[in-house]
Structure 1
């Protein structure tokens, strides 16, 4: 939390993963507690934490916004956009999609900060 100015996190609902009602309640409680702790740590350190709807984050292209017409199997680890030709690791593409949906600058996902106004004035 200390290393980032803002954070985008999936607003994940794990109900479809659990088979029994007891397991579902435990999973819901664990995810809920983690989200609450993350938001509280963000508040404590003065960071912006945004919850993002998780639908289609792995099938959408971050640069152009196009969505694949087919489901990507979990064994396919590289996302390639048929519209713009972008090819990148599936997890990084999903992270960029979440940042775009949260309204944050996606350049920070690869530990590259955009130029700040202070940097531009110094140059």
Structure 2
């Protein structure tokens, strides 16, 4: 927060703010993970979670059509490249959750992780 007045507007008065692309991405990723945990354990895979991202975005957009403005040009025209990049970012976050949660085996040569389920809880 840059100043006490901004704090008051956001925290105390709770004035509505225009949603950011980052906050919206977090909402979509959270929804994907919630829905993923409704599935049987064997079906909770990174590829499945990644594939769920566009559907969760569409579901959120149907509930809050004003979010479409996040991916429009200044003249109001759709910006499909911007949306595609944003969706890819959301899919990457979902995959990173799997790397973090399933105790990855990091491979410095490939620059990626492979997933190995831990036998210990947590």
Q: Which has the higher strand share?
A: 1
Q: Which one has the largest radius of gyration?
A: 2
Higher helix fraction (1 or 2): 2
Superposition TM-score, scaled by structure 2 size? 0.26
Taking structure 1 as the reference length, the TM-score comes to 0.26
